[in-house]
Structure 1
Amino acid sequence: MLYLSNYMKPLFVFLLFCHVASTVKHSLKYFSTSTSGVPNFPEFVAVAMVDEVQAGYCESNMKTPEPRQDWVRDLIKDDPKQLEWYSLQCIRAQHSFRANIDDLKQRLNQTGGIHILQRMSGCEWDDVTGEEIGFNQYGYDGEDFIALDLQTLTWTASKQQAFTTKLRWDADKTRLEDNKHNLINICPNFLKKSLHYGRSFLQRTDLPSVSLLQKTPSSPVSCHATGFYPDRAMMFWRKDGEEVHEDVDHGEILPNHDGSFQMSVDLNLSSVAPEEWRRYDCVFHLSGWKDDIITKLDQAVIRTNRVPGSSSEFPAGLVVGVVVGLLVLLVICITGLFIWRRNNNGFLPVNSKYLK
């Protein structure tokens, strides 16, 4: 389940520095979602992500996928066959997903309600070791369903209801070979070509602006970093140079509208005397960057959401932050990433009220 409250935190976007850096692992992932019973939402949505950045998008009845980055437009201009391949895959996926979800509903005796079939496929490439890994896995109604084992070229059922699907798909040798070819040959080539065209954008390092925020004098102090890239970052509170774990609430890393990221970590100071505040500081660490950004806890620099003389109004900065946050959430919803979410243990349930 996704929590909307994090999107309501203010966004103060200031880009400080930009340096060139290289990552070790790169990925090209395709997120595909087919829905049944969801009003005012496409029956099929697919998104291509390069290093977690949205590169392309297609949905039901679209003849041609839409590039979402300038460097992607340059790529397909130089290599129109790649756009042709994506267009064909989008059309094929729409038909196969629709057939698969109808088949699952029938076999599982599901006559109504909201049902969602999801797939994450793609590849990863380690630019140091050269290792390439392909993957293709499905979820149904928020749970792991079936996954492809490229070593044995067979499907693995994650639950009993998927066993019939496994038998059918294992018998389809043409489909298995097509999957193998796409994941082992085509995907890594597309990934490396995308990295070449998008290197100035994908392999950059942006440091954030870090602010201390507090809604009311009794609220926790939030250390908020925004505008950083890539998303391999961590942030924590310290007291006398030692990391603090008590009374600390870590927020998720969230996307900004410009492709950068934001995150926050809250510190509850209700039991800390004002004269002890100087012993605390907030540390932001970006992977691959040697120097941390350290922000001292100083009441004089804390930004507040309160308007002087009013406890209910909000300043323009906060209103803009809320609007931008909601726009980011809307983009995620439209692209289908809102529906597809996964943790270390597998697919997560979808809260249907957010899809209405």
Structure 2
Amino acid sequence: MERLPTPQALAKAIDGGWSKRRDAVQMLGFLGRDAEAIQLALDERDAQVVVDEALKFLPAPVELVVHALTMKRGDAASRMLYTIPMGNFLYAEKEIVRIVAKSPAKLTAPLIESFGHAGFATAATVLRRHAQLDEPRTYADALAAGFPQNKPSVANGSDTSAATRQWDGPTERAFAAVGALRRLGQPIDIAAVTAWRDRLYAAIPETNAHYPAAADALLSWALFDAGVDESFERWLALEYLQRETRYDMVATLLRRGDAQRLVRLAPTIAKHVEGAGRYFCHWPVADWCHSEGLMPAPDVKLDEMYCLSRDAGIAPPAWWQWRTPWQPGGFHHARLRGLL
């Protein structure tokens, strides 16, 4: 039998430090007092983690989502990277995009990607601004050309030793924008993207081949998703296929109902199922893996927000219908059991 929190323990948590206040949100949820938990988070002014915990009460009110993104001591970028894309926040899309994209020129490549992960089609105009590029260029080339400000997102402070081996900021943002646009079903410039892909390996020394290969995988998937059918075999032959790009390809094939190619991918996807449900845009991939027997233990293999969303009966992307049955409660209660 589950041990319920006592009134004394709850009161102590509410009046405690930030970790205790986060525990209080969890306790209130365990007691079924969701409205009180959400109000506690709305009243929070200092600790972002308290508000983040309340965002797991699904669907989180729009007011709470806005609060999470606009807290004085909060970090809207972190919320957009590590919370929003993991769930179905389409009902708050307008408000989220307005807050996060208020300075389009300051968006990093990971933030650009997050709009596609979250399924926010209203960000398409912002994404198209970044999907412009003459040719791929490394940060070393940007420095040589007199553009030290074109740092990639991995560059911190003045340390550019690692960054010089990678794409410069405009290049990585362009690649990220193309991927995000295709996850949103938006058109891309096929001729331009093909030209970028053809120049990848000339732009980076062979000793750093995994950088152009990773970009090749992303761009080849995007081209295939946009209708360039021959890009599939090129993508499949690549040595460096990142996990996320594998999920992108499965999602494309699922939308098309391409059973033949799905069969070809199934063995390799079975080795990379963990994390399949991390982003909202890939929820159908996680469900498909489960339905095909590629994921025998969903509570262990899948992301927390995916499990909580299934518990709450949250819908997947509009083009997909859940295939697998789901037993609510188990994951959420197991998460709390160590707290109480």
Q: Per the shorter chain, which TM-score range?
A: under 0.3
- Point out the structure with the larger helix share: 2
